[in-house]
A and B are shown apart, each in its own frame.
Chain A
Amino acid sequence: MSRYSATCHIIDQVRLAQDIFHLVVDAPDIARVARPGQFCMLATAHGGGLDPLLRRPLSIHDAWPSGRLEFLYRVVGKGTDLLSQKGPGETVCVLGPLGRGFRPEPCGKSILVGGGLGAAPLLFLARSLDRMDVTVILGGRSIHEIARLDAFEGAAGEVLVTTEDGSRGIKGLVTTALERLDISSSSHTDAIPCVFACGPWPMMKAVYAWATAKGIAIQVSLETQMACGTGVCLGCAIRPSTQGRYLHTCKDGPVFFGTEIDWG
């Protein structure tokens, strides 16, 4: 395992919408070994303070050989709020890359489905795949929740947007777009597609049901509470599909095959 604990310089931090931020840091060790779907733990307390005590898990939005490491996140509480107050010239402690990311599979078209900030890990994944075989579906309540559309359009052959209020793209949910998708039309293979999804639990459940009904393999990136992110506390347990041992999101995941977990 190659994981690093680094104090990183912030290259840039941009507010993309009301509460959505795009953070870029310089983290050469982490960026060079990171795989799509992995995440990092970021310290958010200012000046090495103790509150919030725990680091916050954020998916790797993108990573570059130059050492550039990107995150895309929504401010939901104290930790993300403190993080959003930082700017270029300041530093942030980052631990990563952590966990098991998306597993490349021989398949036809890759359908990447992101709900809200679930889009975060999908850009790095899209860039690692053959552009013309990638379809990205981004869903949100309104246009304000669709972040980094330009970047996705540059990385995928096809990008579909769904909004619940119809302010952009297809009016409805990501599943509305999935239902309309012609899944047989892969550019140069007849192989069946595969799905990679990240977003709120109900969305992933619906996408899992859709994929399973079509006999399509699906990988999902999950969130649970985390204390360490490194596999030592066992706090991030998640129910498996079998009766056996619990899975742990930070080391067995955060990306799982849909068949591995208990969808309740």
Chain B
Amino acid sequence: MPYFEQKSTRPLPRTGVDLAGIKFKNPVILASGTCGYGQEIDDLLDLELLGGIVVKGISLGERRGNPPPRIHETPCGLLNAIGLENVGLERFLSEKMPWLRKIDTAVIVNILGNSAEEYVQIARSLDRVPGIDGIEVNISCPNVKAGGIAFGADPALAAEITRRIKTVTSLPVIVKLSPNVTDITVIARAVEGAGADAISLINTLLGMAIDVKNKRPVLANIFGGLSGPAIKPIALRMVWQVARAVEIPVIGIGGISTSQDAIEFFMAGASAIQVGTATLVNPGSAAEIVAGIASFMDKEGISDISQMRIP
């Protein structure tokens, strides 16, 4: 055994995580909708330093998104109503995947649809595409056929989507939960029962702002999703609840801007975390969080992320 290893009193921190069959270099992943398809911020953030990236939500056809104004800043938060503008499945595979494939980090594709069939069709097309490591299912979208109720607000619908996606893909399936429900653990258990490999949470909280001078809602869409540091306490509470309600791994999302924030989520029971709005504010945030986690683990003598969990 080499001399320096004998001298070391404690093992080096292991920041890598195996989650739902996906190997992440470290537990820090970029959240969907806040990093484009990766290439857009490649010059400002080295993606290979991160555990992975979740690309902007992909729909079957290209989507134009909502009319402007689409965003509004609130105290320590951001309201957005982008309207899921994206290039669509076909252009994603032909224009975005060739670049993503070359990057040494886990690539997770966030998918969305207006009907269960749409989700299934996208999931089927992504199966066996080289370079894709997993699917994250955004169930916050309204189900057109069920009268516009969000898939994520109905345990039966959420379970049905999960079950059907699982039958058409061999890729790990992460279901991303909406916080806009009365009891998030009910939805969490439903998708676990339907075969989800992991759960990520939370998506944005529904909110709005009013322009007093012009006497109308600020966002053209009236409502928008709230993200950023303002939602962190809610996200943390929900991660704590879900981590104690299911056996499958949980990925924590919501207002994470520093390694301190990330560590709180690990303590609440998350196996990995995603960084969203913080990347919009400072493109280097996720890389700084990776470094901060490693130094915390080193200082505290923690050798594995899972050891941080509060029983």
Contacts and interface: CB of A to CB of B under 8 A. Distances in A.
A55 B78 CA distance: 12
B195 interface: no
B93 interface: no
Contacts of A3: 43-44
The residue in A53, A226, A237 that gathers the most chain B C-beta atoms within 10 A of its C-beta is A53
A187 interface: no
Contact of A233 (B64, B71, B257, B282): B71
Interface in A205-254: 224-228, 230-239, 245-246, 251
Interface string B44-74: 1000000000001000001011111111110
B64 to A, nearest CB: 6
B80 interface: yes
B69 A225 contact: yes
Nearest to A226: B71
Interface residues of B, number: 37
Given A5-B282, A227-B80, A227-B280, A234 B72 contact: no
A53 B40 contact: no
Nearest to A248: B85
Contacts of B44: 3-5, 95, 230
In which size bucket is the chain A interface?
A: 20 to 34
Interface string B248-284: 0000000001000000000000000000010111111
A5 B64 CA distance: 30
A53 B41 contact: no
Given A50-B76, A225-B72, A239-B68, A233 B41 contact: no
Contact of A237 (B68, B77, B229): B68
A263 to B, nearest CB: 14
B82 interface: yes
Contacts of A55: 281
A239 B67 contact: yes
Interface string A111-134: 000000000000000000000000
A93 B281 CA distance: 11
Contacts of A227: 71, 73, 78, 80, 277, 280
A53 B228 contact: yes
Contacts of B187: none
Contacts of A245: 62, 64
B35 interface: yes
A54 interface: yes
A2 interface: yes
B262 to A, nearest CB: 16
A54 B281 contact: yes
A246 B76 contact: no
A154 B154 CA distance: 67
A141 B70 CA distance: 31
A1 interface: yes
B75 interface: yes
Contact of B70 (A5, A51, A235): A235
A239 B77 CA distance: 26
A232 B86 CA distance: 11
Interface string B79-93: 010100100000000
A50 to B, nearest CB: 5
Given A53-B281, A95-B283, A232 B34 contact: yes
Interface string B152-180: 00000000000000000000000000000
A237 B65 contact: yes
A73 B41 CA distance: 27
Given A228-B280, A232-B35, A233-B34, A54 B78 contact: yes
A109 B282 CA distance: 41
A237 B228 CA distance: 21
Given A234-B82, A238-B68, A246-B85, A53 B34 contact: no
Interface of B: 33-36, 40-41, 43-44, 56, 62, 64-73, 75-78, 80, 82, 85, 228-229, 257, 277, 279-284
Given A53-B78, A95-B44, A232-B36, 7 more contacts: A54-B78, A225-B69, A225-B72, A227-B80, A232-B41, A234-B85, A238-B68
The 6 closest A-B pairs by CB, nearest first: A235-B71, A228-B280, A232-B36, A231-B40, A237-B68, A227-B280
